[in-house]
Structure 1
Amino acid sequence: MLLSKHKKNHNANSGKRLLVSINVLGSAGPIRFVVDEEELVEAVIDTTLKSYAREERLPRLGSDHRAFFLYCPHHGSDVALSPWDKIGSHGARNFVLCKKPHTTNEAADNGSRTSSLSRRGNGSWKSWFHLNLKISSH
């Protein structure tokens, strides 16, 4: 009797659970796992990177969650989600994980290389996606 009351209280106090699907740019398929809707975006990125590494997917991404953006493609916005937002606050379950663009110090390179940001456009997932569609349609 006491055990069942404890389970009911625990379920009443915990938030809704969501099955999220995270598409990692450059990877074969999405990573799927269940999260609490109160989970922070930062923690979801961290869990995605750990799952990705555990599955030994390529390309290797590393484990620093600060080096990645999480986008919600259904919102029609190019703006990355804030790491401090709650994942359930966006009303979506499908997301795109992108590595933040790296810029090189052009002064140190004496102008020999352009920044990777300028080579890749604005660094958003949409520009990468559209570029790959154009290449594959030929």
Structure 2
Amino acid sequence: MLLYKQKKNQPVKGNRFLISVTVIGSAGPIRFVVNEEELVAAVIDTALKSYAREGRLPILGSDLDSFMLYCPISGTEALSPWTSIGSVGVRNFMLCKKPQTEKDVDGGGEKASPMARKGSGSWKTWFNKSLNLKISSH
């Protein structure tokens, strides 16, 4: 995915604000300042670079196409990489890996890899499981 980078000499247009990006399985959110006109793809790129720079675990990699940015408040659909981050209207996001697919040898179609289902779930699955925990009283 090709991203447009602003030159450092150009003045920043638009409002800037602080966002929090939570990575599933990481210790805490990553916080950084973005321009409201930045694309979601640029925010994912910045989050991955900050994550790697801080030496967080698990190691994610740097391929933008392997990740989706969610807004947990506004719905369960991933944000389009070509929308501006300011158009969402919130400042808290979740970064998730896309489920890996492999080519089905027989039909030529795609199916979800069994390893992807076992090792990495989506935040929606985790959230639903955490709601279903039953607390027993003594």
- TM-score bracket, normalised by the shorter chain, equals 0.7 to 0.9
Note closer, same or farther for the CA distance 1:50–1:86 as it changes in structure 2 (3 Å cut).
Answer: same
Note closer, same or farther for the CA distance 1:16–1:129 as it changes in structure 2 (3 Å cut).
Answer: same
SS at match of 1:74: coil
The amino acid that maps onto 2:13 is S
How far did residue 132 of structure 1 move?
A: 5.2
**Which sections of structure 2, spanning at least 5 residues, go unmatched?**
1-10, 107-111
Q: How far, CA to CA, are the matches of 1:15 and 1:68 in structure 2?
A: 26
Please name the residue that 1:101 is paired with: 99
User: Where do 4+ consecutive residues of structure 1 move more than 6 Å?
Assistant: 135-138
Of Structure 1 and Structure 2, the greater helix share is in 1
Alignment of 1:88 onto 2:93? no
Could you tell me the TM-score, scaled by structure 1's length?
0.75
Of Structure 1 and Structure 2, the greater strand share is in 2
Please name the residue that 1:6 is paired with: none
Q: Which moved more, 1:26-35 or 1:123-132?
A: 123-132
Please name the residue that 1:41 is paired with: 40
Note closer, same or farther for the CA distance 1:86–1:136 as it changes in structure 2 (3 Å cut).
Answer: farther
Please name the residue that 1:54 is paired with: 53
Alignment of 1:29 onto 2:28? yes
**Which sections of structure 1, spanning at least 5 residues, go unmatched?**
1-9, 109-113
The C-alpha deviation readout for 1:12-66, integer Å capped at 9, x for no partner, is: x611001000000010100000000000000000000000000000000000111
Q: How far, CA to CA, are the matches of 1:68 and 1:137 in structure 2?
A: 34
Q: How far, CA to CA, are the matches of 2:78 and 2:44 in structure 1?
A: 12
1:123-134 correspondence runs (5 A): 124-131=122-129, 134=132
The amino acid that maps onto 2:98 is K
Identity %: 60
The C-alpha deviation readout for 1:74-128, integer Å capped at 9, x for no partner, is: 11x11100000000000000000000001234538xxxxx7338836xx642113
Alignment of 1:116 onto 2:127? no
Q: How many residues are matched?
A: 119
